[in-house]
Structure 1
Amino acid sequence: MTSSDNIFSLLDIAFSVTSPIFIIISLGAWLNHIKFINEEFIRIASKIIFNIGLPIMLFTNTASHDFNKLINLTHLAIILATTIIVFIVSQLTASQFIENKRDKGVFVQGAFRGNLIILGLAFCSSAYGEKGIAIATLPMAIIIIVYNLLSIYTLNASLLTQSFSLKKSIDDIIKNPLIIGIVAGLLVNSTKLPIPNVIMKSSHYLSQMTLPLALLAIGGSLNFLQMKENLKPAIAASVFKIVLSPIIMITLLLLFPIEKTAAGVLFFLAASPTATASFIMVKAMNGNSDLAAKIIILSTFVSIITVTFGFAMLVALNLIALN
């Protein structure tokens, strides 16, 4: 096999990992377009996903895997470093892409805050199954906390509001069903409490339902109309999130090689597009929600290219594993 044949083969494998995710997102967008689903469906589906499906899935994956392999300080340091670097770079350069100073926080949040909970986990699950979800669980939990703190800081700084305080953020983190599920799973795992088979089977059924339903909801919530305004900062923030972030991650993986499946998981987390939660927070703080929405839309659909090529390149470099 020639080198070009090998590259195309790897791209085909990488595309087989990423394309099902974007097909389901596109299906959600189309179903919303033809009015088969609506905002009420998306609202109820989101409540089921975030309050029941994902917490149970994360609990059982955390509780049932090797405890020593779940906690890895190197993994945490790499994903934290990637996030902090993107945050600092976007803070320093935001003024080059925005006209209104109030949009700085919206731009910065869109540049660093990834959709780990849905798309990050979906990529990990598609590539590595339950093992990938288990490896992603603790880094994801830590980064979610960091995301919230950094988002509050940058949005408050540019919008000059105290709507989101540090105390409220900490309260929200403690009460977050995903964090509760992960912490409960770690406690069960560390104490070696047995998990009844009926719970494992029920969780498996929920896991099979949760991520596809979440992807449909994301697709249904994306609005492709009115894409002309705020396009320049939206493109720039999207480049930070789906190009700069994975490049930094790849650089760190070259400098600090780790186990190849874990490397793949960290790449997917770093390369995931902007989180839909960023829109919700901006909307609540009376910021430029139109810009926030455009960053989500652009980064989500362009990431099918960046994630696919990045995954194939890392496999070619023998930095990450295939399933």
Structure 2
Amino acid sequence: MGLIVNALFPVFGVIFIGWLLRRSQLLPEDSWGPISRLAYLGLSPALLFTAIYRADLSSISVSGFMLAALLGFLAMAAITLAIKPLLRIPDPTYTSLFQATARWNGLLILAVAGSLFGEEGQVLVALIMAASIPLVNIECVAVLSIWGDGSRPDWRSILYRIATNPLILGTGAGAAANLSGLTLPVALDSTIGLIGQAALPLILLSVGAGLNFTAMKARPRLLGLSVLLKLMLAPLVFYGIGVAMGVQGPALTVLLLTGASPGAASAYVLARQMGGDAPYSAGDITASAMFCFLTIPFWLALLG
């Protein structure tokens, strides 16, 4: 348990500092959006590139591990679709519930896995991110196109944005460089690595700054359901699939963490764009981030 606390305390501590910084108004309120965008889209690709480029991929059973992760995402989508007839809620609100259970904050889990397992943990999370970003986005857009407020998606534009997602590009470039045996000049490698080192602190600060406890007043009972599905059921689903497929060691723990991840801010953005329940999405992002402080240590102590 001490190892878990030592690994998680810095991650959650930086998130708390981000919340304090926003409350202190040390920075203008509207500055946190650009900071978050810089961290996620500007710096994180360098972090993912470096993690994959420097990794010994031969030591990781990539195919079974990644298949288990994708099956986990598909299983959670199937479960959420199966319970729709039981929920007496407007269709746009259901789309936000679906996003709450389907999406995950991969970069936050990257920080947690890095604290636990070092570079190996970061590589494992980066691989899941590269595989899951297209799948999860297509799932969520499809659900919103059916049950949103009637707006229809531009699939060509959506697929283009997925294909040009900086996180996917960073991971893909790192994998290509690794598998091709390319050796970067030391100066270039060090520069990219230095840029990547700045990503996680800014990401965690942005997560803390984005906590909006007022938003949790929107549909509190439904928030309880989405948090229960995401933070209590999903870890068991991902872990169970991993065990069934023979995944072991740090890879199995990373699958557990993937299921235990809180929701992602992109759910709020897409809900606004395609007619979901944006206030509910905002509340879920905060609620899942807050309660994961308790559930992630719980699952790691129990199964990790």
Shorter-chain TM-score bucket reads: over 0.9
How far apart are 1:84 and its partner, in Å? 1.0
Structure 2 distance, partners of 1:99, 1:259, is: 40
Spell out, residue by residue over 1:110-138, the C-alpha distance to the aligned partner (whole angstroms, 9 max, x if none): 1121111x212111111112221112222
Preserved contact between residue 215 and residue 279 of structure 2 (Cα < 8 Å)? no
Query: Secondary structure in 1 aligned to 2:27?
Result: coil
Considering only aligned residues, what root-mean-square deviation do their CA atoms show, in Å?
Answer: 1.8
Match of 1:18 in 2: 8
Identify which range, 52-61 or 247-256, moves more after superposition. Answer: 247-256
How far apart are 1:217 and its partner, in Å? 1.0
Out of 274, 295, 298, the residue aligned to residue 309 of structure 1 is 298
- Give the aligned residue type for 2:10: P
- Give the aligned residue type for 2:156: K
Match of 2:260 in 1: 271
Preserved contact between residue 216 and residue 287 of structure 2 (Cα < 8 Å)? no
- Are residue 136 (structure 1) and residue 145 (structure 2) matched? no
Match of 1:73 in 2: 63
How far apart are 1:89 and its partner, in Å? 0.9
- Are residue 43 (structure 1) and residue 21 (structure 2) matched? no
Structure 1 distance, partners of 2:206, 2:253, is: 26
Match of 1:281 in 2: 270
- Give the aligned residue type for 1:297: T
The verdict on how the C-alpha distance between 1:71 and 1:54 changes in structure 2, with shifts beyond 3 A counting, is farther
Please, what TM-score do these two structures have when normalized by structure 1? Answer: 0.88
Preserved contact between residue 27 and residue 219 of structure 1 (Cα < 8 Å)? yes
Match of 1:99 in 2: 89
How far apart are 1:47 and its partner, in Å? 2.7
Query: Secondary structure in 1 aligned to 2:303?
Result: helix
Match of 2:159 in 1: 170
The verdict on how the C-alpha distance between 1:62 and 1:16 changes in structure 2, with shifts beyond 3 A counting, is same
Identify which range, 302-311 or 254-263, moves more after superposition. Answer: 254-263
How far apart are 1:54 and its partner, in Å? 0.6
Spell out, residue by residue over 1:251-276, the C-alpha distance to the aligned partner (whole angstroms, 9 max, x if none): 22332332402112222222111111
Match of 1:57 in 2: 47
Structure 2 distance, partners of 1:179, 1:254, is: 27
- Give the aligned residue type for 1:52: G
The verdict on how the C-alpha distance between 1:43 and 1:102 changes in structure 2, with shifts beyond 3 A counting, is closer
How far apart are 1:46 and its partner, in Å? 2.1
Preserved contact between residue 109 and residue 151 of structure 1 (Cα < 8 Å)? yes
Query: Secondary structure in 1 aligned to 2:214?
Result: coil
- Give the aligned residue type for 2:79: V
Structure 1 distance, partners of 2:157, 2:150, is: 14
Query: Secondary structure in 1 aligned to 2:189?
Result: helix
* Structure-to-structure mapping, 1:1-323, within 5 angstroms: 10=1, 12-69=2-59, 72-116=62-106, 118-315=107-304
Structure 1 distance, partners of 2:238, 2:11, is: 22
How far apart are 1:51 and its partner, in Å? 2.8
Structure 1 distance, partners of 2:28, 2:86, is: 38
- Give the aligned residue type for 1:154: V
Structure 2 distance, partners of 1:14, 1:67, is: 26
Number of aligned residues: 304
Identify which range, 78-87 or 46-55, moves more after superposition. Answer: 46-55
How far apart are 1:97 and its partner, in Å? 4.4
The verdict on how the C-alpha distance between 1:121 and 1:281 changes in structure 2, with shifts beyond 3 A counting, is same
Preserved contact between residue 95 and residue 101 of structure 1 (Cα < 8 Å)? no
How far apart are 1:159 and its partner, in Å? 0.9
The verdict on how the C-alpha distance between 1:114 and 1:84 changes in structure 2, with shifts beyond 3 A counting, is same
- Give the aligned residue type for 2:210: S
Structure 1 distance, partners of 2:232, 2:250, is: 21
Preserved contact between residue 22 and residue 301 of structure 1 (Cα < 8 Å)? no
How far apart are 1:187 and its partner, in Å? 1.5
Structure 1 distance, partners of 2:29, 2:61, is: 38
Structure 2 distance, partners of 1:73, 1:93, is: 31
Structure 2 distance, partners of 1:68, 1:52, is: 29
- Give the aligned residue type for 1:182: T
Preserved contact between residue 98 and residue 233 of structure 1 (Cα < 8 Å)? no
